[in-house]
């Protein structure tokens, strides 16, 4: 232990774990309902020994270079594409994330989106609430079968595997691809009734689901994305939905986030969007706070982080 440190936490977090930081260190929690601006984040980071950040916070090389006291960065997410890990590594700063805590919650939401899109639940619920429901109608809100259908899972990490387990309970045929193997990916896209994305955002996955990929999908297929928005080309997706190239899409993530009110994608038919709630259960979010706090404390004490981002290399 090196004495009291200054920790900047970019948002108030669910659960009691932040108390651990407040009891032993000077802990500054950003009070706003929106994230700090980049300028505000830089100003706070320059004074801090540790950052506890969210996926909405850009921690780039410039910020890191201007933060000489910084000893650890803990990201409140499993993904860490908002952090320049190479710059942190070069500066000897460990970076932590929160894997496992949100696996089952995100897999649950994936299946909830799949079911909602397949059975047109948002449309049907709105129809009933708006007083349009007059009688049982044999041809109303016909959707897609889920039981026995084929699901293609792109990315077979923790969450992808958890989705595969749920699919097995629905008697689905499960196709998977772990890497950007073009032949395997094309086979998956051609065969699947549902395509679900579970990849990290990297240079190799950005724009992976583009116009060419969407053109391979069945006209009856539904795309689900609970990973990162930029993996899907939103203009190509809007076009595919407008032309009926695919049957629908259900998104927990978009690019940008939030999707601007006037964005053409909002005008696309058969689109379901929710505001990045994949990990939004009490238990998942509280556990994420616990892991992030443990990462901060370990970094300040010079210990290995319990959950350090994969393959972080130090110069």
Q: What is the pLDDT of residue 180?
A: 64
Q: What is the pLDDT of residue 153?
A: 98
Q: What is the pLDDT of residue 292?
A: 98
**Which position among 11, 25, 71, 228 bears the catalytic label?**
228
Give every CB contact of residue 249 below 8 A, 6+ residues apart in sequence.
Answer: 117, 222, 223, 224, 225, 237, 241, 268, 270, 271, 272
Q: Exposed/middle/buried for 18, CB within 10 Å: 0-12, 13-18, 19+?
A: buried
Work out the pLDDT band at 260, boundaries 50, 70, 90: very high
Give the start-to-end residue ranges of the domains of the chain.
6-101+282-300, 103-273
Got the DSSP string for 63-91?
HHHT-TT--EEEESSS--TTB-HHHHHHT
Topology match between the domains 6-101+282-300 and 103-273:
yes
Assess whether 235 carries a catalytic annotation.
no
Assess whether 257 carries a catalytic annotation.
yes
pLDDT 10s digits, 19-69:
999 999 999 999 988 999 999 999 999 999 999 999 999 999 999 999 999
pLDDT 10s digits, 124-141:
999 999 999 999 999 999
Assess whether 11 carries a catalytic annotation.
no
Q: Rounded mean pLDDT of 11-18?
A: 95
Please give the distance of CA 248 from its chain centroid, rounded to a whole number.
Answer: 20
Work out the pLDDT band at 313, boundaries 50, 70, 90: low
User: Which tokens in the block code for residue 113?
Assistant: 């989106």
User: Which tokens in the block code for residue 219?
Assistant: 């006209």
CATH of 6-101+282-300 given 3.40.50.720, 3.10.105.10, 3.90.650.10, 2.60.120.260: 3.40.50.720
Give every CB contact of residue 223 below 8 A, 6+ residues apart in sequence.
Answer: 194, 195, 197, 209, 214, 217, 232, 237, 246, 248, 249, 250
Q: What is the pLDDT of residue 182?
A: 80
Q: What is the pLDDT of residue 43?
A: 98
Q: What is the pLDDT of residue 178?
A: 72
What mean pLDDT, rounded, does the chain reach? 95
Work out the pLDDT band at 1, boundaries 50, 70, 90: very low
CATH class of 103-273: alpha beta
**Which position among 11, 71, 234, 276 bears the catalytic label?**
276
Q: Rounded mean pLDDT of 265-270?
A: 96
């Amino acid at each position: 232990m090196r004495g009291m440190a200054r920790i900047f936490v970019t948002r108030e977090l669910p659960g009691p774990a932040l108390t651990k930081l407040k009891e032993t260190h000077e802990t500054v929690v950003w009070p706003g309902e929106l994230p700090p601006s980049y300028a505000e984040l830089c100003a706070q980071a320059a004074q801090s020994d540790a950052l506890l950040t969210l996926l909405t916070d850009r921690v780039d090389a410039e910020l890191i270079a201007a933060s000489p006291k910084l000893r650890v960065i803990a990201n409140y997410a499993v993904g860490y594409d908002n952090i320049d890990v190479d710059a942190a590594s070069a500066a000897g700063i460990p970076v932590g994330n929160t894997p496992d805590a949100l696996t089952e919650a995100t897999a649950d939401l994936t299946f909830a989106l799949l079911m909602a899109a397949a059975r047109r639940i948002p449309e049907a619920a709105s129809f009933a609430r708006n007083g349009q429901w007059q009688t049982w109608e044999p041809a109303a809100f016909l959707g897609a079968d889920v039981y026995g259908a084929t699901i293609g899972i792109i990315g077979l990490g923790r969450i992808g595997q958890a989705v595969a387990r749920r699919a097995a309970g629905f008697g689905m045929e499960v196709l998977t691809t772990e890497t950007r193997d073009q032949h395997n990916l094309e086979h998956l896209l051609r065969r699947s009734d549902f395509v679900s994305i579970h990849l990290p955002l990297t240079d190799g996955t950005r724009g992976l689901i583009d116009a060419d990929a969407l053109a391979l999908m069945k006209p009856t297929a539904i795309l689900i994305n609970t990973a990162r928005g930029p993996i899907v080309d939103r203009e190509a997706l809007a076009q595919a939905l407008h032309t009926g190239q695919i049957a629908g899409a259900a998104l927990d993530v978009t690019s940008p986030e939030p999707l601007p009110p006037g964005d053409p994608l909002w005008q696309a038919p058969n689109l379901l969007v929710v505001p990045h709630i994949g990990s939004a259960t009490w238990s998942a979010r509280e556990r994420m706070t616990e892991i992030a706090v443990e990462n901060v404390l370990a970094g300040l004490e010079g210990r290995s982080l319990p959950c350090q981002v994969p393959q972080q290399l130090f110069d």
